[in-house]
């Protein structure tokens, strides 16, 4: 009776399936891909704002093409105002660390701890100034240093020539110094040497990753800073202190270590100012030196930074000149706000944008402005060098007029340079400014340039003109340039730094709709074929479904924590082991698959060790993981036996995989094209071995020239893989299968996996065969566990799919990857190629990164259907199962990605949003889209018209 009932239900499935047809099962998968694409594009447009890095650099001769005056003393764009610069960066320097507490409604313990800066600004208000410097988010140190030196607005995704390189490749202030003969000395935070690896005359870098270390970097700066002030072999000296930043991260702003650090800095700065003053006399080494003390960003009370809150973006900048100052800055360009401190002294501070720092300092030192700078020369900071020009000025002009003449010409060069950049950016970038925006700022610039050509230029040529008309015309010209530069800055900020919350919200909404659509698709398919599944109401099925939801929930919610994201591989492995223990319990209860369950747990344990090794590699390159070193990587270091085994074992495993594939071809159902595909894979495996032997120093590779082994063999393997995929496509289109559904499905799945495997293994290096073997063994275990779910004839349930997904995630981390850009193995993209071609290298890098975790698991999913397929079930039952299994797998991926999207939305102002959450977002959304796309392609490949059993056809008639 049971068999008869099953057959009747199967007939009903066949009849219903014939009504729906093949595309009735496929279209929901494509609709899901479309929904996900729209959701992610909208969310990304609001969150990951992008900018294209241009490879152009400014040169001294460029200014000749501008309408402005170039320097007439043999220097570059502007007349230099200072000869030497001492730049002291106090990382995470809050504004209220510097200005008196009287400026705030409530006094805090950390205020008034840097009195040396306040006193200097009070006693020498024209030669020493305090600025509230406003930074642009992201307020992470690396991005801020990039912004300070390039004069641009760095975003999370800067598209350019730096293929995996942390060094700044676009034009910057440090590069201009070196190119124009200036010598730069650096000490402190080693981020500078990462960004500028070959620019410093001398450098004393100290590691910056250990936030628990408050003193190493600072003590290194102290050891070298004061002695360097007495030396003559530099023009720019940079000292980057980190103690305040680290104290904030560990203890918070309101803490004793923070106060102690500020007091230490005050003592250091007192000594620096004393040395500079003592050597500032005529003919002394610091006669014309500018001291700048600044923060790269602020910090919250908890010590966090990275976002755009006032505490994070407001930092301080103190500048001091040791020459006779300008008597006064014209009131129109003086933004100072003054108040008395606790001692009754009058203290003033002004405001400026950090965006203006690079171009202002470049103008003061007389070097070309960075090509991509969009800031404008700050008048108050620029005025600190005004005394340098007085000796060359006409006696009929006051020093204020001389300053204004120089400032107007400097702004002319500034505006011309910014207009040049905007034009070049819009012509070169796929994400340039709109036509309306370009037209608007072009009109503003044209008006300013017209005024310059018609009147201002003539006034500057006539140095004897000292009338009020001249001053009025200069002010009008300066205002015109201000208007243009402000318009460009506002436009750039709107494109590159502001989150579009409305667009992000719409993206999240569409993502939630897609989840509902996927759930509805699964429920609809299950309901339509409920008659087939009703006899398998085993309690284990319900428990397994609950456990699946539980494991998925833990995994999804873990993405809301930065700690769990850092340990994502371990979390996935823990959940995989948990599912293995549950399977072991069920296998004991059912009295079968006990050995397989034990083997699965052992495999999970080995994955745990492999993930630990991957984390040790991450520790060597990632600032977030350097505190978590691994002992596993050092187990066999220096042992010759281990080194030899590392060469031989991958070859032996690859030979074993080839032998298994050859044995599979002995099956009579592996005819054309599947047999030729598998034979092609075996040939590729042998070529991979030849490639490794050629590269190895332990084997004699004289029989194969290195040019062939390293270049042409990989290309042959790629060509074979493309040919295999072509054969499978050709067979899909033109070969009518005479096999039954199950045999056809097994043959097609095996052939597809073998076609991809050679390229994936080649790109993965010598770990490839071992990971491939582990993935094959793990997949076989999970396939067998399907029989635990609902008995021998039971329907495919979600628990095994969840195990499949967790195992795929573990393989991602086992193969040495992690969700950060420094976790990409860029070398894999150049296996077989020397030159860089973006599309080709991107494809190879994608295959290497996601081969074991996405490509092979997605195309291997039909095995979970084939293992359940029985002779009395037709092809439309297979369609139903494939549709359910792919929709469920896609749903699991979509849910985890949705939580990642929610995480970056919630944490968009978090300290590590750009360093941790945003890279995780990029990897997860790429994972989702790639998974959806491969599922759609697999649906076309696997959903074909296999042959039904005769007993199913007869009742239909």
Query: Rounded to whole angstroms, how far apart are CA atoms 85 and 838?
Result: 41
Query: Rounded to whole angstroms, how far apart are CA atoms 714 and 689?
Result: 11
Q: Which of 280-284, 504-508, 791-795 has the lowest mean pLDDT?
A: 791-795
Given pLDDT bands bounded at 50, 70 and 90, which one contains residue 697?
A: low
Give yes or no for residue 634 having a pLDDT over 50: no
Task: Tell which wins on pLDDT, 325 or 486.
Answer: 486
Q: What was the pLDDT predicted at 698?
A: 60
- Label residue 515 exposed, middle or buried (CB < 10 Å: 0-12, 13-18, 19+): middle
Q: Average pLDDT, stretch 341-351?
A: 84
Return the domain boundaries, the chain: 60-496, 547-629+766-817
Given pLDDT bands bounded at 50, 70 and 90, which one contains residue 791?
A: very low
Given pLDDT bands bounded at 50, 70 and 90, which one contains residue 632?
A: very low
Give yes or no for residue 635 having a pLDDT over 80: no
Q: What was the pLDDT predicted at 421?
A: 95
Q: What was the pLDDT predicted at 950?
A: 47
Query: Rounded to whole angstroms, how far apart are CA atoms 545 and 527?
Result: 16
Residue 902 phi, psi (nearest 5): -60, -35
Q: What was the pLDDT predicted at 819?
A: 83
Q: Average pLDDT, stretch 545-573?
A: 87
Pairing of the two strands 314-321 and 236-241: unpaired
Output b/e per residue, 166-179; b: 16+ Cβ within 10 A: eebebbbbbbbbbb
Please check whether the domain covering 60-496 is classified as CATH 3.40.720.10: yes
Q: What was the pLDDT predicted at 654?
A: 93
Give yes or no for residue 633 having a pLDDT over 60: no
| Residue range 669-690, pLDDT digits in tens | 566 677 888 889 999 999 999 8
- What angle, 0 to 180 degrees and rounded to 10, lies between the N-to-C axes of helices 918-942 and 875-906? 170
Residue matched to tokens 């676009």: 170
Give yes or no for residue 387 having a pLDDT over 80: no
> Please, what is the Cα angle at 589 between 588 and 590, to 5 degrees?
90
Enter the tokens of residue 224.
């070298």
Residue matched to tokens 């607005």: 153
- What angle, 0 to 180 degrees and rounded to 10, lies between the N-to-C axes of helices 741-764 and 674-695? 10
Closest CA to 360 of 332, 312, 316, 319: 319
Q: What is the mean pLDDT of the chain?
A: 82
Extract the runs of DSSP E, i.e. beta strands, from 100-146.
128-134
| Residue range 312-335, pLDDT digits in tens | 889 999 999 988 776 667 777 887
Task: Tell which wins on pLDDT, 695 or 467.
Answer: 695
456's CB contacts (< 8 A; 6+ apart) are 408, 412, 473, 474, 477
Terminal-to-terminal C-alpha distance of the chain = 22
Query: Rounded to whole angstroms, how far apart are CA atoms 297 and 136?
Result: 9
The DSSP letter of residue 279 is T
Quick one: the chain helix, strand, coil %, rounded to 5? Answer: 65, 5, 30
The DSSP letter of residue 911 is T
In sign, the C-alpha dihedral spanning 14, 20, 21, 24 is negative
Q: What was the pLDDT predicted at 332?
A: 79
Q: Which of 55-59, 294-298, 950-954 has the lowest mean pLDDT?
A: 950-954
3-state secondary structure (DSSP) of residue 87:
strand
- Kindly calculate the radius of gyration of the chain based on its CA atoms and give it in whole angstroms: 34
Contact 908, 307 (CB under 8 A): yes
Residue 295: how many other CB atoms lie within 10 Å? 27
445's CB contacts (< 8 A; 6+ apart) are 415, 419, 484
**What are the DSSP calls for 623-664, one per residue?**
TTTTTS--SGGGTTTT-HHHHHHHHHHHHHHHHHHHHHHHHH
Query: Rounded to whole angstroms, how far apart are CA atoms 113 and 110?
Result: 6
Residue matched to tokens 């020493």: 128
Enter the tokens of residue 201.
């005359």
Highest mean pLDDT among 147-161, 737-751, 890-904: 890-904
| Residue range 418-427, pLDDT digits in tens | 999 999 998 8
The number of angstroms, rounded, from the C-alpha of 137 to the middle of its chain's C-alpha atoms is: 15
16's CB contacts (< 8 A; 6+ apart) are 528, 529, 876
Give yes or no for residue 790 having a pLDDT over 70: no
Contact 854, 927 (CB under 8 A): yes
Task: Tell which wins on pLDDT, 186 or 194.
Answer: 186
| Residue range 698-721, pLDDT digits in tens | 655 555 666 677 788 999 999 999
Given pLDDT bands bounded at 50, 70 and 90, which one contains residue 157?
A: low
Highest mean pLDDT among 147-156, 631-640, 712-721: 712-721
Q: Average pLDDT, stretch 175-202?
A: 92
Query: Rounded to whole angstroms, how far apart are CA atoms 720 and 196?
Result: 43
629's CB contacts (< 8 A; 6+ apart) are 616, 619
Give yes or no for residue 899 having a pLDDT over 90: yes
Q: Residue 286: left (phi > 0), alpha (psi -120 to 50), or beta?
A: alpha
Closest CA to 62 of 79, 77, 73: 77
| Residue range 835-847, pLDDT digits in tens | 777 788 889 999 9
Q: What was the pLDDT predicted at 164?
A: 41
Residue 370 phi, psi (nearest 5): -55, 140
Give yes or no for residue 484 having a pLDDT over 50: yes
């Amino acid at each position: 009776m049971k068999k008869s009932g099953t057959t009747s239900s199967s007939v009903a499935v066949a009849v219903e399936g014939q009504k729906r047809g093949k595309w009735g099962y496929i279209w929901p998968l494509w609709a899901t891909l479309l929904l996900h694409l729209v959701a992610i594009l909208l969310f990304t447009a609001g969150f990951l704002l992008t900018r294209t890095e241009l490879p152009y650099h400014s040169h001294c001769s460029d200014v000749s093409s501008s309408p402005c005056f170039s320097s007439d003393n043999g220097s570059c764009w502007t007349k230099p105002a200072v000869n030497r610069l001492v730049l002291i960066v106090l990382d995470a320097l809050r504004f209220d660390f510097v200005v008196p507490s009287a400026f705030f409604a409530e006094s805090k313990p950390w205020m008034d701890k840097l009195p040396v800066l306040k006193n200097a600004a009070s006693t020498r208000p024209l030669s020493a100034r305090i600025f509230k410097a406003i930074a642009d988010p992201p307020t992470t140190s690396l991005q801020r240093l990039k912004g300070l030196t390039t004069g641009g607005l760095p975003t999370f995704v800067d598209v350019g020539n730096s293929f995996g390189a942390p060094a700044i490749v676009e034009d910057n202030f440090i590069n201009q110094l070196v190119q124009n003969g200036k010598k730069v000395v650096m000490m402190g935070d080693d981020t500078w040497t990462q960004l500028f690896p070959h620019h410093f005359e001398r450098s004393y870098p100290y590691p910056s990753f250990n936030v628990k270390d408050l003193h190493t970097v600072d003590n290194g700066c102290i050891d070298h800073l004061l002695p360097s002030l007495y030396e003559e072999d530099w023009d720019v000296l940079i000292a980057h202190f980190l103690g305040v930043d680290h104290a904030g991260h560990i203890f918070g702003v309101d803490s004793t270590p923070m106060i102690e650090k500020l007091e230490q800095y005050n003592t250091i700065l007192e000594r620096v100012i004393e040395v500079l003053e003592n050597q500032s006399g005529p003919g002394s080494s610091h006669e014309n030196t500018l001291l700048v003390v600044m923060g790269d960003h602020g910090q919250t009370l908890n010590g966090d930074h990275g976002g755009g809150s006032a505490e994070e973006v407001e930092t301080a900048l103190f500048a001091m000149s040791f020459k006779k100052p300008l008597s006064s800055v014209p009131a129109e360009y003086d933004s100072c706000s003054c108040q008395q401190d606790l001692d009754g002294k009058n203290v003033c501070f002004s405001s400026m944008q950090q965006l203006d720092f690079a171009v202002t300092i470049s103008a003061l030192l007389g070097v070309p402005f960075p090509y991509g700078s969009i800031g404008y020369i700050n008048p108050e900071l620029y005025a600190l060098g005004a005394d340098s020009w007085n000796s060359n000025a006409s006696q009929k002009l006051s020093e204020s007029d001389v300053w204004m003449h120089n400032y107007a010409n400097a702004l002319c060069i500034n505006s011309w340079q910014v207009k040049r950049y905007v034009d070049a950016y819009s012509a070169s970038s796929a994400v340039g400014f709109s036509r309306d925006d370009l037209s608007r700022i072009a009109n503003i610039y044209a008006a300013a340039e017209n005024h310059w050509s018609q009147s201002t230029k003539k006034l500057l040529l006539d140095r004897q003109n000292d009338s009020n008309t001249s001053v009025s015309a200069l002010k009008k010209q300066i205002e015109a340039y201000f208007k243009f530069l402000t318009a460009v800055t506002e436009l750039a900020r709107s494109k590159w730094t502001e989150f579009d919350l409305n667009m992000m919200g719409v993206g999240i909404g569409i993502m939630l709709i897609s989840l509902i659509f996927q759930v509805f698709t699964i429920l609809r398919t299950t309901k339509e074929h409920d008659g087939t599944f009703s006899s398998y109401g085993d309690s284990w099925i319900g428990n397994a479904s609950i456990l699946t939801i539980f494991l998925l929930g833990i995994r999804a919610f873990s993405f809301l924590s930065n700690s769990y994201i850092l340990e994502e591989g371990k979390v996935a492995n823990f959940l995989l082991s948990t599912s293995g223990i549950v399977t072991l319990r069920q296998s004991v209860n059912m009295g079968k698959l006990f050995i397989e369950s034990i083997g699965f747990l052992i495999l999970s344990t080995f994955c745990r060790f492999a993930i630990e090794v991957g984390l040790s590699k991450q520790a060597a390159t990632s600032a977030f993981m350097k505190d978590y070193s691994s002992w596993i990587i050092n187990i066999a270091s220096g042992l010759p036996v281990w080194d030899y085994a590392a060469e031989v074992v991958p070859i032996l495993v690859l030979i074993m995989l080839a032998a298994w594939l050859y044995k599979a071809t002995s099956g009579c159902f592996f005819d054309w094209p599947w047999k030729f595909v598998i034979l092609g894979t075996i040939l590729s495996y042998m070529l991979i071995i030849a490639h490794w032997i050629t590269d190895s120093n332990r084997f004699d590779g004289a029989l194969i020239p290195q040019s062939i082994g390293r270049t042409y063999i990989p290309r042959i393997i790629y060509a074979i893989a493309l040919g295999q995929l072509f054969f499978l496509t050709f067979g899909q289109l033109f070969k009518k299968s005479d096999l039954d559904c199950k045999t056809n499905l097994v043959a097609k799945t095996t052939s597809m996996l073998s076609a991809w495997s050679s390229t994936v293994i080649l790109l993965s290096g010598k770990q490839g065969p071992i990971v491939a073997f582990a993935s094959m063994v793990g997949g076989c275990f999970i396939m067998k566990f399907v029989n635990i779910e609902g008995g021998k004839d039971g329907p495919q349930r979600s628990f095994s799919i969840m195990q499949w997904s967790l195992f795929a995630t573990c393989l991602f981390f086992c193969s040495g990857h992690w969700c950060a850009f420094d976790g990409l193995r860029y070398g894999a993209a150049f296996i077989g190629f020397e030159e860089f071609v973006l599309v080709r290298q991107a494809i190879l890098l994608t295959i290497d990164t996601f081969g074991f975790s996405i490509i092979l698991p997605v195309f291997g999913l039909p095995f979970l259907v084939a293992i359940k397929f029985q002779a009395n079930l037709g092809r439309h039952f297979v369609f139903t199962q494939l549709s359910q299994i792919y929709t469920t797998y896609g749903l699991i991926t979509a849910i985890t990605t949705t939580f990642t999207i929610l995480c970056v939305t919630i944490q968009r102002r978090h300290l590590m949003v750009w360093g941790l959450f945003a890279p995780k977002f990029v990897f997860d959304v790429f994972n989702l889209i790639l998974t959806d796309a491969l599922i759609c392609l697999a649906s076309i490949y696997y959903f074909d018209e296999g042959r039904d059993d005769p007993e199913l056809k007869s009742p239909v008639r």
